[in-house]
A and B are shown apart, each in its own frame.
Chain A
Amino acid sequence: MASRQLPGKLKIYLGYAAGVGKTYQMLDEAQEMKRQGRDVVIGYFEPHGRHDTIAKTEGLEMIPRRKVDYRGTTFEEMDTDAILRRHPEVCVVDEFPHTNVPGSPRLKRWQDVETLLEAGIDVLTTMNIQHLESLNDQVWQITGVRVRETIPDWVMSKADQVVMVDLTPRALLNRLARGVVYAPEKAKKALENFFQESTLVALRELALRQTAHEVEIRQVDYDTPGFETAPAYTDEAEEVPRSGERILIFVTPDPASATLIRRGKRVADYLHADCFAVAVRAEEDSDQAASPEREALDRHLNFARNLHIETRVLEGKDVPKTLVEFARLNGVTQMFLSRTKLSRWAALFGGDLMRQVVHLARDMQVMIVAERHHQPHQ
Chain B
Amino acid sequence: MLTNAPRRPTPEELLRQVQAEEEYERRGRLKVFLGYASGVGKSFRMLDEGRRRHERGQDVVVGAIQPKISPEIEPLLGKLETIPLRFVEGIPVMDMEAILKRHPAVCLVDGLAYDNPPGSANPSRWQDVEHLLDAGISVITSVNIQYIDELRERVEQITGKRVTQTVPRSFLNSADEIVVVDAPPETCITRSHDGKIDSAAEAQKLSELREIALLLAADVVDRQLEQYVQRSGFPQTFGAQERILVCITPRANAAPMIASGRRNADRFHGDLIVAYVRQPEISAGDQEALERNLAIARAANAHIEILEGEHPIEAILQFAREHSITQIFAGHSTRERWWERLLGTPLDRLIRDAGDIDVRVFPH
Tell me if A317 is interfacial: C-beta within 8 Å of chain B: no
Partner of A215, one of B214, B234, B263: B214
Partner of A222, one of B207, B214, B239, B240: B207
Tell me if B127 is interfacial: C-beta within 8 Å of chain A: no
Closest chain A residue, CB of each to CB of B267: A270
Tell me if B74 is interfacial: C-beta within 8 Å of chain A: no
Q: Contact: B197 with A228, CB < 8 Å?
A: yes
Tell me if B135 is interfacial: C-beta within 8 Å of chain A: no
Chain A min CB distance to B356 (Å): 5
Chain A min CB distance to B210 (Å): 5
Tell me if A223 is interfacial: C-beta within 8 Å of chain B: yes
Q: Contact: A208 with B177, CB < 8 Å?
A: no
Q: Contact: B356 with A373, CB < 8 Å?
A: yes
Provide the bound-state CA to CA distance between A197 and B229, in Å. 11
Q: Contact: B238 with A166, CB < 8 Å?
A: no
Known A198-B232, A212-B269, A377-B232: A204·B238 in contact at CB below 8 Å: no
Q: Contact: A368 with B351, CB < 8 Å?
A: yes
Q: Contact: B351 with A219, CB < 8 Å?
A: no
Write the B203-215 contact mask toward A (1 if CB under 8 angstroms, else 0): 1100110110011
Tell me if B322 is interfacial: C-beta within 8 Å of chain A: no
Binds B, one of A103-111, A182-190, A290-298, A347-355: A347-355
Write the B167-188 contact mask toward A (1 if CB under 8 angstroms, else 0): 0000000001111111110000
Known A164-B182, A215-B211, A370-B354: A208·B221 in contact at CB below 8 Å: yes
Chain B min CB distance to A25 (Å): 10
Binds B, one of A78-86, A147-155, A356-364: A356-364
Q: Contact: B358 with A370, CB < 8 Å?
A: yes
Q: Contact: A205 with B238, CB < 8 Å?
A: no
Partner of B356, one of A161, A208, A370: A370
Tell me if B152 is interfacial: C-beta within 8 Å of chain A: no
Partner of B348, one of A168, A212, A355: A355
Q: Contact: A225 with B267, CB < 8 Å?
A: no
Provide the bound-state CA to CA distance between A141 and B268, in Å. 19
Q: Contact: A219 with B208, CB < 8 Å?
A: yes
Known A164-B214, A170-B177: A215·B228 in contact at CB below 8 Å: no
Most chain B Cβ neighbours within 10 Å, of A168, A348, A373 = A168
Known A161-B184, A208-B218: A225·B200 in contact at CB below 8 Å: yes
Provide the bound-state CA to CA distance between A166 and B238, in Å. 22
Provide the bound-state CA to CA distance between A168 and B260, in Å. 35
Known A208-B180, A209-B269, A368-B351: A202·B359 in contact at CB below 8 Å: no
Q: Contact: A378 with B218, CB < 8 Å?
A: no
Q: Contact: B263 with A205, CB < 8 Å?
A: no
Tell me if B332 is interfacial: C-beta within 8 Å of chain A: yes
Partner of A209, one of B218, B228, B234, B342: B218
Closest chain A residue, CB of each to CB of B196: A228
Chain B min CB distance to A164 (Å): 4
Tell me if A375 is interfacial: C-beta within 8 Å of chain B: yes
Provide the bound-state CA to CA distance between A206 and B224, in Å. 13
What are the residues of chain B within 8 A of A375 when measuring CB–CB?
234, 236-238
Q: Contact: B269 with A362, CB < 8 Å?
A: no
Partner of B225, one of A141, A167, A198, A263: A198
Partner of B240, one of A202, A216, A362, A365: A202
What are the residues of chain B within 8 A of A354 when measuring CB–CB?
351
Most chain B Cβ neighbours within 10 Å, of A171, A198, A212, A347 = A212
What are the residues of chain B within 8 A of A205 when measuring CB–CB?
218, 221-222, 225, 239-241
Q: Contact: A166 with B225, CB < 8 Å?
A: no
Q: Contact: B237 with A347, CB < 8 Å?
A: no
What are the residues of chain A within 8 A of B238 when measuring CB–CB?
138, 141-142, 202, 372, 375
Give residues in B with beta carbon < 8 Å to A. Answer: 6, 31, 176-184, 197, 200, 203-204, 207-208, 210-211, 214-215, 217-218, 221-222, 224-225, 228-229, 232-234, 236-241, 260, 263-264, 267-269, 327, 332, 342-344, 347-348, 351-352, 354-364
19 residue pairs of the A-B complex, CB under 8 angstroms, read A138-B240, A161-B184, A197-B228, A205-B222, A205-B240, A208-B180, A208-B218, A208-B221, A216-B211, A227-B200, A339-B354, A355-B351, A364-B363, A365-B361, A366-B361, A367-B358, A368-B358, A369-B358, A370-B354
Q: What 6 A-B pairs have minimum CB-CB distances, sorted nearest first?
A: A205-B240, A212-B214, A208-B218, A168-B177, A141-B238, A198-B228
Give residues in A with beta carbon < 8 Å to B. Answer: 11, 138, 141-142, 161, 163-168, 170-171, 197-198, 201-206, 208-209, 211-212, 215-216, 218-219, 222-223, 225, 227-228, 263, 267, 270-271, 339, 344, 347-348, 354-355, 358, 362-373, 375, 377-378
